[in-house]
Amino acid sequence: MTIANLVTPERVVPLDPHLPIPQHVGIIMDGNGRWARARGLSRMEGHRAGTRNIRRVLEEAVRIGIKVLTIYAFSTENWGRPRAEVSHLMRLISESIRNELDELDAQGVQIRHSGRLAGVSAYLQKQIRGAIERTRHNDRIILNVAFNYGGRAEIIDAIKHIIEDGVKPEDVDEALVGRYLYTAGLPDPDMIIRTGGEYRLSNFLIWQAAYAEYYATPTFWPDFDEAELRMAIAVYQSRERRFGLVK
């Protein structure tokens, strides 16, 4: 699929060209299991359908003008799921890198990783590092994959590294902490989208999203298509961001 043939005309949700587009969007991709159950399928098939949907949303993000897309692929808490499901998710991530990397690189996608690699198989670690290195100079869009990620774990890791580096307490401020987070160098998210009808942060970008606009939809992730993304961005454009101030 190319960037040019994404949305059929009858499904395009218009966006106001005079209003800002969020430069960094984070997505909590929820509802794969419920999507599968509603169709009499296994949870594994739901996760596979959700994985396939990433490309569709990523390409529409490029079309809209979003510069950074952070997807919540696997949390630090997800290790507590049944062993078979965790193993399947690890295989899906490995397969996705193997099958998608050439095309993502050709399309100018820069891949980044937010999270811990400890506990991940050596082979998958090598794949992740290889994808990051191969695409590091691409600049069409950044796909930041929050994998083995937890917002609290991220803050704990940042604190540990600040202490290890001998930073004086009086030198600690928000900018310094930001440089120690997994997302160092990326702008804070302007918008967080959660699919699947839930209203929780689920430990996702809890530092960075302090002033992000939130959007929740009942649509399960595998069904979250180009028109759904545009609807979310249209809602973003309708809001007034004040960052704790008054107009």
Catalytic residues: 30, 78
* DSSP state letter for 218: S
Q: Could you give the CA distance from residue 74 to residue 115 in angstroms, rounded to a whole number? A: 9
Q: Which residues contact 1 (CB under 8 A, 6 or more apart)?
A: 55, 56, 59
Q: Could you give the CA distance from residue 15 to residue 126 in angstroms, rounded to a whole number? A: 40
Burial class, 45, CB count within 10 angstroms (exposed 0-12 / middle 13-18 / buried 19+):
middle
Do 50 and 28 touch, CB atoms closer than 8 A? Answer: no
Q: Could you give the CA distance from residue 31 to residue 50 in angstroms, rounded to a whole number? A: 9
* DSSP state letter for 56: H
State phi, psi for 70 to the nearest 5 degrees.
-105, 125
Return the structure tokens found at 234.
């249209």
> DSSP letters along 70-124, please?
EEEEEEGGGGGS-HHHHHHHHHHHHHHHHHHHHHHHHTTEEEEEES--TTS-HHH
